[in-house]
Amino acid sequence: MIKLFSRAVIGLSLLCSACAGPTPNNLSRLDLIQKRGELNCGVSGKIPGFSFLQSDGSYEGLDIDICKAMAAAFIGNSSNVQYRPLTAAERFTALKTGEIDILSRNTTHNLSRDSIGGNGLTFAPVVFHDGQGLMVKKSSGINSLEELRGSNICVGSGTTTEQNLNDAFQERNIAYKPIKYQDLNQVVAGYLQGRCKAMTSDRSQLAAARSGFREPKSHVILEEVLSKEPLAPASAGGDQKLSDAMRWVIYALFAAEEQGINKDNINSKLLLANSDPTMTSMRRFLGIDGELGKKLGLKNEFVVNIIRSTGNYGEIYERHLGKNSSVPIPRGLNNIYKSGGLFIAPPLK
Amino acid sequence: MQMNTRSTYIKLIRKNFFSNKLDSLISTVLIIFIVWSLLKITSWMIFVANWSVVSNNLSLFTFGSYPRLEYWRPTLWLIILIFLTLITLFWSKKGILRKYIPIAWIGMIPIGLILIGGGLGLTPIHSRQWGGLTLTLILTILASVISFPLGIVLALGRQSKIDVIHKACRIYIEVMRAVPLIAVLFFGQLLIPLFLPVGLEISRVLRAILSFSLFVAAYIAEDLRGGLQAIPKTQKEAASVLGFSPIQTMQLIVLPQAIRTAIPSLTNQVIGLLQNTSLMAILGLIELLGISRSLLANPNYIGLYMEVYVWLAFLYWAVCTIMALLSRHLEKQLTYGRG
């Protein structure tokens, strides 16, 4: 009986290992997305400015617009996206099991997540450069890590944030007590209820959270930056077609900003390029000449589709994190290289 | 006369709360504490709380990301549910209604599924767009409906004289009871898709319903076993003397009584199930709790935790109370014959 049972289990597991796997042989996930006509995009759904729920039940934010740009490029319609709200813990499993096609969820690009020996993901270019910081109440008078010796610090568990906090304090040999929460909103609540002297998260998130406080001015973000947090969209590894397409969608967003092509002027630029055969690079970029899109497995006019639906990177940024948005964060590093930022797109040739 | 009643009240109060020094002290402290907290709570609710987060998002709490144009479908279902509840609780004594109420309740389930999921001419709406209170109710109702017959089978199987069946049921029940619900849910949400062949995708909602059903069935089986054991052996013997077959005995005599005995604990399971559906919020379903957490990230509503969670507590309380009332009603109905 037991023998039979164990045989059955082994057989079943062999069968499953044969049938499991994110993509069937040779068929890229990109083909699957195009056949399905819908992009499954993993998002957080809980980060102000990046992805959150509107009162009418739709999602909005920078991460969401990245999904939309991808859908516009892959399928040709930016509204054919299914958003899957995911927690930090389950995001990579969801990618691996194929439940989502791409992950656009404030995910830090680092070695262990990228490598085969780690999570084995493939990252697209960074869409937001962040860094971890600490926020304290102004009245506490604290303005350096040293002064936090022995204090409680609120932190989200299972994230790189928790690790960075630990690394930074251990390096400086400062004792502290981490109070761990499931997600950022709970961290904020814990901090506001006075359960800890400081809260830590990426500086963008601290700023976002602070803008919602009753008295935003009575909280300060410390000067010290504990980490680099380059946030990037990702796909399950080993699918060159999909990861190439993702990479160049992001680059197209940067390149469009660099060339001053935006949602408002895309049609006139297109007309102009159509009538003027000397604008070779513009014609190539907009898909009038050459086969840039086809090489990626997309339509040649994919850039036009992206810009029409979301605008260039600068427009996306302004919409969700700009001066007039509800979560203003200065652009700083998150600008194209010509304006002193870190974003540079290789030539679209 | 009035003086008289007043003085008896005073006497009663004195006797119950202030009979000696220690008593008086405890009573005073407690009364001060209760009055103080009530004052604090009401003043917070009226003056401090910003209820716009609730009032502006009622449709979000009810339907989640359900397509706007199709709101009428879940709304219709909820209205029918409320209507049916009212009829059951207040007008069910009337003869004709009484006959049809159970049928109506059973009919509610396919009607709800068709209304919300689509079919029969309605545009299909994928389950990943279900959300809010609607999703919470669907999870609870479907999981209870699936787990109930499963629980009966397990309970009977456990009493079976055939060794294999008896052992299999026992092992199933013991294992399910020994595993925490959250582990079963994680298994359903994260591991099952790994085992499935590519292209075959079971929706997250269905996976959640199945995980809940499999888990709850084990508990229901145990509740029913309690009911089964409460029935004296003599009844079975009497039945067999009267010429009932074992199946007839089970179907007509033992099970109805066992289920009736088990109703209070079955209600417990369903209420527990409703509250446990909130666990799906950490697994990414946007049911009632999940939708609230997403809403709290909206820059317009950051920091309004208290309001949202107080509102949620109220909603869960209201739904659970209705379910408890219904079950008490059912209990009364079933004891009708016993007088």
At B320, the pLDDT band (50, 70, 90 cuts) reads: very high
The verdict on B74 touching A (C-beta cutoff 8 Å) is no
pLDDT of A275-329, one tens digit each? 999 999 999 999 999 899 999 999 999 999 999 999 999 999 999 988 888 777 8
pLDDT surpassing 80 at residue B134 = yes
Give the integer Cα–Cα distance in Å for B225 and A348.
71
Query: Could you tell me if residue B92 is inside a domain?
Result: no
Query: Could you tell me if residue B85 is inside a domain?
Result: no
CB B136 within 8 A of CB B288: yes
Give the integer Cα–Cα distance in Å for A260 and A246.
21
Mean per-residue pLDDT, A59-88: 92
**Are B8 and B56 part of one and the same domain?**
no
pLDDT surpassing 80 at residue A2 = no
**Are B300 and B152 part of one and the same domain?**
yes
Measure B96 CA to nearest chain A CA, in Å.
42
Tally of domains in chain B: 2
**Are B218 and B323 part of one and the same domain?**
yes
What are the sequence ranges of the domains in chain A?
29-128+231-330, 132-227
Identify which has the larger pLDDT, B195 or A146.
A146
Query: Which residues in chain A are closer than 8 Å to B198, comparing Cβ atoms?
Result: 19-24, 98
Query: Which residues in chain A are closer than 8 Å to B302, comparing Cβ atoms?
Result: 48, 188, 208-209, 211-213
Pick A48's closest partner by Cβ from B66, B195, B302. Answer: B302
Query: Could you tell me if residue B230 is inside a domain?
Result: yes
The verdict on A80 touching B (C-beta cutoff 8 Å) is no
Q: Nearest CA to B184 among B209, B216, B218, B211?
A: B211
* pLDDT at residue number A25: 53
At A9, the pLDDT band (50, 70, 90 cuts) reads: very low
**Are B145 and B241 part of one and the same domain?**
yes
Q: What angle do CA B97, B136, A92 make, to 5 degrees?
A: 155
Topology of domain A132-227, CATH: D-Maltodextrin-Binding Protein; domain 2 (3.40.190)
Say if A29-128+231-330 and A132-227 have the same CATH topology: yes
* pLDDT at residue number B95: 65
Token pair, residue B76, equals 């219709």
**Are B146 and B33 part of one and the same domain?**
no
**Are B177 and B222 part of one and the same domain?**
yes
Give the integer Cα–Cα distance in Å for B124 and B116.
8
**Are B168 and B31 part of one and the same domain?**
no
Query: Which residues in chain B are closer than 8 Å to A52, comparing Cβ atoms?
Result: 294-295, 297-299
Contact B302 A209 (CB under 8 A): yes
pLDDT of B143-199, one tens digit each? 999 999 999 999 999 988 899 999 999 999 999 999 999 999 988 887 787 777 766
Search chain A and give the residue with CA nearest B54: A55
Search chain B and give the residue with CA nearest A45: B294
Identify which has the larger pLDDT, A25 or B34.
B34
pLDDT of A313-325, one tens digit each? 999 999 998 888 8
Query: Could you tell me if residue B176 is inside a domain?
Result: yes
pLDDT of A104-132, one tens digit each? 998 989 999 999 998 999 999 999 998 88
pLDDT of A11-30, one tens digit each? 444 444 444 444 445 689 99
**Are B7 and B62 part of one and the same domain?**
no
Scanning A239-298 for CB atoms below 8 A from B yields: none
The pTM for the full model equals: 0.78
Pick B193's closest partner by Cβ from A97, A183, A192. Answer: A97
**Are B317 and B266 part of one and the same domain?**
yes
Which sign does the torsion angle of CA B201, B203, B208, B211 carry? negative
Give the integer Cα–Cα distance in Å for A117 and A243.
19
* CATH, residue B328: 1.10.3720.10
Label the pairing between strands A132-137 and A198-202.
antiparallel
**Are B43 and B138 part of one and the same domain?**
no
The verdict on B109 touching A (C-beta cutoff 8 Å) is no
The verdict on A182 touching B (C-beta cutoff 8 Å) is yes
Query: What are the strands, taking DSSP E only, across chain A?
Result: 39-43, 52-53, 59-60, 81-85, 102-103, 121-123, 128-130, 132-137, 152-156, 177-181, 198-202, 219-221, 229-231, 234-236
Token pair, residue A127, equals 């869409």
Pick A55's closest partner by Cβ from B57, B290, B296. Answer: B57
* pLDDT at residue number A13: 45
At B66, the pLDDT band (50, 70, 90 cuts) reads: confident
The residue segments making up the domain with residue B35 are: 2-48
Topology of domain A29-128+231-330, CATH: D-Maltodextrin-Binding Protein; domain 2 (3.40.190)
* pLDDT at residue number B40: 93
Query: Could you tell me if residue B304 is inside a domain?
Result: yes
pLDDT of B72-120, one tens digit each? 899 999 999 998 888 888 876 666 667 778 888 888 888 888 888 887 7
At B2, the pLDDT band (50, 70, 90 cuts) reads: low
Q: Nearest CA to A44 among B4, B198, B296?
A: B296
Listed range (A16-25, A174-183, B116-125, B294-303) with the worst mean pLDDT = A16-25
**Are B287 and B164 part of one and the same domain?**
yes
Contact B297 A45 (CB under 8 A): yes
pLDDT surpassing 50 at residue B201 = yes
Listed range (B31-45, B182-196, B259-273) with the worst mean pLDDT = B182-196
**Are B175 and B322 part of one and the same domain?**
yes
Contact B298 A84 (CB under 8 A): no
Buried b (16+ CB within 10 A) or exposed e, A167-186: ebbeeeeeebebbebbbbbb
The verdict on A58 touching B (C-beta cutoff 8 Å) is yes
* pLDDT at residue number A240: 93
A-B C-beta contacts closer than 8 Å:
118
At A87, the pLDDT band (50, 70, 90 cuts) reads: confident
* pLDDT at residue number B49: 84
Identify which has the larger pLDDT, B335 or A319.
A319
Give the integer Cα–Cα distance in Å for A10 and A13.
5
* pLDDT at residue number A11: 46
Mean per-residue pLDDT, B40-56: 89
Query: Could you tell me if residue B119 is inside a domain?
Result: no
The total of other beta-carbon atoms located within 10 Å of residue B50's CB is 13
Token pair, residue A212, equals 């919602």
Mean pLDDT of chain A: 87
CB B282 within 8 A of CB B189: no
